[in-house]
């Protein structure tokens, strides 16, 4: 999570949607593709999420290392599934028959479908979460939770987590530099080196995080956090006609996923 993945602006339609509704949307999309793991369905939803990035002017920069890593990782997931799935009609062999040798590593239609399904689901979960964080104002999200009678102590845990994500990201980079300055190379060769790498990374990060937690809790207590069971809000989330319309669409999506899973929509499931 980088700094630019967080937003407190209210520009696009997605920014203006009710924060709880956006969270519900994230949960519904994730649940939908888990219960109905069709690659076409995942691909359609991924297309809508990428459209969401464009509508809300949130950059999805493929040149960034982290985004590149996600795409490469999803490609690896695809390749792994294709290689590991032997069921289905064989399309071709990766290593064709040569003389009396082979052929080896068959690629089947079922394997390709499974691979697509896995990698698209992975991208969908990650990208939809990134979009949610990018277009959701944590303070307004905390306020919207109060409408569901969720105590503000819990909803603020989320606000604080989002507030500290960029900071921990920066600290992680600093610790990496500090390791290099002491001659410590990240190594995963052998259990003792793995353990040492983990220790040399997590000790400083953990201690730094804990010291910040202490300071933060004093700062919050020192400003009356928890003084009473309710609190007021300078900025409040709102619910309007657009939110209602999106709620209807999301409910329809959830219902469709359930019906598709149960096999009640055979014509539709033949397409997606």
Partner 1 sequence: MLEVHDVSFSYDNEKLILDAVNLQVRRGEITVITGPTGSGKSTLALVLAGFIPRTIEGTFTGSLLIDGENAENSPISEIAHKVALVQQDPESQISTLLVSDEVAFGPENYSVMPSEIQKRVNVSLNAVGSLHLANRPTYALSGGEKQRVTIASMLAGEPDFLLLDEPSASLDPKGIQQLQKVLLGFKNSGYGILCIEHRLATILPIADRVLRLSKGKISKWSGKTNSARTTPAEHFRRPDSVEPLLVAKGVSYSYGNISAVRDVALSVYPGEIVALMGNNGSGKSTLINLLAGLLHSTVGITYLDGVPSNEMTAQDVAARVAVVFQNPNHQIFERTVQREQHLVFDILESLGEIPSERPDEVLLAAGLAELKERNPFSLSHGQKRRLNVSSVTVHEPLVYLFDEPFIGQDEIGRNFITQTIRKRGKSGGAAILVTHDSAVATSLCSRIIFMERGSVLLDGPPKIVLSRLNEIGYSEYADLGATS
Site residues for partner 1 per CB under 8 A: 3-4, 6, 8, 137-139, 156, 159-160, 162-163, 166-167, 171, 174-175, 177-185, 199-200, 203-204, 207-208, 211-212, 215-228, 230-236
Altogether, the residues listed in the chain come to a count of 272
Which of residues 186 and 255 has its CB atom nearest to partner 1 in the complex? 186
Nearer to partner 1 by Cβ, of 7 and 42: the residue is 7
Nearer to partner 1, 188 or 241 (CB): 188
Q: Which residue number, 53 or 225, has a Cβ lying nearer to partner 1?
A: 225
Spatial distance between the Cα atoms of 160 and 155, rounded to a whole number of angstroms:
9
| Residue closer to partner 1, measured from CB, 16 or 231 | 231
Q: How far is the CB of 55 from partner 1 (least distance, A)?
A: 21
Q: Compute the least distance from the CB of residue 252 to partner 1, in Å.
A: 33
Asked if residues 176 and 200 have their Cβ atoms less than 8 Å apart, the reply is: no
Q: How far is the CB of 225 from partner 1 (least distance, A)?
A: 5
Please name which of 173, 244, 243, 181 lies closest in space to residue 16, comparing C-alpha atoms. 243
- H helical segments located in 152-190: 152-181
CB of 266 to partner 1, least distance (A): 47
Cβ(129)–Cβ(56) under 8 Å?
no
Min. distance of Cβ 235 from partner 1 in angstroms? Answer: 7
Give min distance, CB of 249 to partner 1, in A.
28
> In the chain, how long is the greatest CA-to-CA distance?
81
**Rounded Cα gap, residues 65 and 148, in angstroms:** 39
CB of 100 or CB of 214, closer to partner 1? 214
CA distance 124 to 130: 10
Who contacts 32 (Cβ-Cβ below 8 Å, separation ≥6)? 41, 45, 253, 254, 256, 257
Q: What is the dihedral of CA 30, 33, 34, 37, to 10 degrees?
A: -160
Q: How far is the CB of 189 from partner 1 (least distance, A)?
A: 15
- CA separation for the pair 139, 113 (Å, rounded): 41
Residue closer to partner 1 (CB basis): 124 or 159:
159
Residue whose CB is less far from partner 1, 97 or 235: 235
- Residue 106, SS3 per DSSP: strand
> Are the C-beta atoms of 159 and 36 separated by less than 8 Å?
no
Q: In the bound complex, what is the minimum distance in angstroms from residue 64's beta carbon to partner 1?
A: 8
């Amino acid at each position: 999570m980088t700094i630019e993945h967080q937003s407190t602006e209210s520009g696009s339609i997605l920014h203006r949607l009710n924060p709880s509704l956006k969270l519900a949307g994230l949960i519904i999309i994730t649940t939908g593709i888990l219960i109905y793991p069709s690659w076409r369905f995942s691909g359609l939803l991924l297309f809508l999420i990428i459209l969401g990035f464009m509508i809300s002017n949130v950059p999805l920069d493929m040149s960034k290392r982290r985004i590149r890593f996600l795409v490469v990782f999803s490609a690896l997931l695809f390749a792994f599934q294709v290689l590991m799935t032997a069921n289905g009609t064989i399309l071709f062999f990766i290593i064709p028959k040569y003389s009396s040798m082979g052929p080896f590593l068959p690629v089947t239609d079922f394997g390709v479908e499974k691979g697509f399904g896995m990698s698209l689901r992975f991208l969908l979960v990650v990208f939809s979460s990134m979009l949610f964080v990018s277009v959701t104002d944590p303070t307004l999200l905390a306020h919207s939770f109060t409408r569901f009678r969720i105590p503000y102590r819990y909803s603020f845990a989320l606000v604080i987590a989002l507030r500290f994500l960029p900071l921990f990201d920066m600290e992680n980079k600093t610790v990496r530099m500090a390791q290099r300055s002491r001659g410590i190379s990240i190594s995963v060769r052998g259990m003792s080196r793995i353990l040492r790498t983990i220790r040399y990374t997590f000790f400083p990060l953990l201690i730094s995080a804990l010291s910040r937690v202490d300071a933060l809790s004093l700062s919050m207590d020192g400003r009356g956090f928890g003084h009473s069971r309710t609190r007021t809000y300078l900025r409040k989330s709102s619910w309007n006609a657009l939110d209602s319309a999106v709620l209807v669409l999301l409910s329809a999506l959830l219902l469709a996923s359930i019906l598709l899973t149960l096999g009640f929509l055979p014509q539709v499931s033949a397409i997606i």
